[in-house]
Chain A
Amino acid sequence: MKKFLAILLAAVLCLSLAACGGNGGDETTAAGETTAAGETAAADTTAEGDTTAASEEKATADQLSKLKIGIILLHNETVGYDENFINSVKNAVKNLGLDEATQVIFKKDIPEDKKCYDACVELAEEGCNLIFADSFSHEEYVIEAAKEFTDVQFFHATGVNAKIVNLPNFHNAFAKIFEGRYLAGVVAGLKLNELIEAGTIKEDEAKIGYIGAKPYAEVISGYTSFFLGARSICPSATMEVTYTNEWANLAKEQEAAKKLIKDGCVIISEHADTDGSPMACEDAMTKENKTVYHIGYNIDFNDVAPTANLVSSKIDWTPYFEHIFNGVAMGAELENDYCGDFTTDSVLLTEYNDKNVTDEMKAKIDEVKADLESGKIKVFDTSTFTVKDESTIKTNEANFVLADNYKTDADGHLTSYMADAVADEKYTPDTDVIKDGEFAESSERSAPYFNVNIDGIDVIG
């Protein structure tokens, strides 16, 4: 919209000239020109250190030097989602000793239409042998290019089609971020307990707010795992979810956070791409003297919200980039669909805000993390949640998750859930993903498919 506005202003300037053209005599024309200018260098990235698994075979320096990498981004470094990818690429490049200036091309602000295919082709023609795209709707254009340039390896984050098209040079990737969200939820639960003990809130006021971008499986899976993590620690926790219906819109995210704060939420988390919600929480805490903590996603918000922030869960793509850079350099066969987790260091919590997170809390978090890794705790353990309240079923129906997609027992626990794991236009439910008392998220494909709303979470639209 900002661009529209700038163009419109220029057009108005143009029209004003033309409109005055008919009159003689003395005339003055004034016009205002605004250009949005934002420039942030992503130079000061924190190096994650050596994170590659020791067992993996390494490419030789000679092989690595032949690598040329193209990275296609939906936005640029001013948006958290893309900043995370840019930083991860830079870290991987540094760790492997590649030369960023000559071996990496970033194509920023590539929309989800034919321009994405154009970008793929341009990168291939510039000699890239590894091309990566970061946004969901880039996928079909990347596949189109992959069919044409068979000697270039294409990678796409968050996509669902690699298994279906089954090309040797097209790969999907994602990470079990729901495990990280669960852990972040544990932080929220601990904080809620602390607030209850201190008498700041009563037990039934332990309300969490969550800002989602769109009612999409990735978001639903995210807030549900976050909520289950919080409720495992603070049993009286409830959650209110609101959608902005856009992936990155600072103003809308800020507004949504304000609404949730007004509704009495004392912890806010989010799945959207900007700094809107941490800013709103920081304002509420410092200016309005309210209690509302914030848990972020992908970006460390300790600078943006030094008072309100607790921690963020994050997908670190560095290990994946190192893995594919190595693999392509060696000519190795790479996974059709890759799913990172705690053990690959792909999922993690960012630096805690030590003002708000005590050592005692940290010890508990480490304990839960170990249990998640060992499989002792399963995030979507079906005995921990129910789908039976009328409002829950209504929300699901509104989201086209109908009663014939799933079965529950008398208590409302899921016993069967048919997911659309093999993506198709009609969302045909094709695979039962309830296995051994668990909703097996990201086992059929890396991109999430948990899209059922559960009791205790109130989706207010």
Chain B
Amino acid sequence: MPNILWMQTGACSGDTMSLLCADRPSLEQLDLQYGVKLLWQPSLTADRSFGDVLAAVLAGDEKLDVLCIEGSLMVGPGNTGMFDTWKGRPKIDIVRQLAPLATDVVAMGTCAAFGGVHAAGMNPTDCTGLQFHKDTPGGLLGTAWRARSGRPVINVSGCPAHPNTITKVLAMIAAGEEIALDQFNRPTAFFASLVHQGCTRNEYHEYDIEDSELGGRGCMFFSLGCRGPQTVAPCNTELWNGHSSKTRAGVPCFGCTSPSFPPDGDLFSTPRIGAIPKFLPLGVVRAKYMAYKNLARAAAPERVVNREMEP
């Protein structure tokens, strides 16, 4: 019967909303099927106060199985942590106190995993992730840190994290399953597929039919900033809200599960070398890719060239 303490730091509440949107399993099923109990969830807990929970856990009166952190860890201004406080105490200090007591720590969303949108550009709040700062190991807790289970922080990245990835990871922890992690400590069960896999614009990509204006049916990789072929995320292998995904709906993938999200530079435009994107699909060799694209374009059927196929 694992319990969860879910804490928001520098957050928009989007991962909490995502949690509420999960349907396989849902929040209700996490309780019914897996015995997951919410010791504290800022949007949901009604029978106690955060101070009460915090005191009980810190005193050792209450065990802490899973500590979920939603939001960037605000280190500023001037290392005081005062950009984000609870009753005058920096939240980063509370996170540092709770983390060693938890059997597992899960970063819910890209902010807690890597710093996220608040760390973009000049990073005005000096924020960071729990165990990474963007793609550099370290973050608030440091590279060597391990939870009581021996695991590092499990990074369920995404802006927000995919609803069913949130609940499935929690269910896997509750069920005592092995959780294999990738180089950024994301569970490979959810982060070993590209957004490109399952995108309904794939045939356009296959035949090099690329759109240069938004609002169309073609592939958005060459001109419109889509990072689907470089981004590992479950968005097109497990649809959002049971219906769709950004790329299916004509919105470029902005790579929001990646440590570098959001990238600097025009988000709706693909940086290119000549006619070919600067960043190629994961692991592809440029010369071979150019050769393949030339052939692909020549083989494109009229129905694809004419964009007759609905994504």
A binds B: no
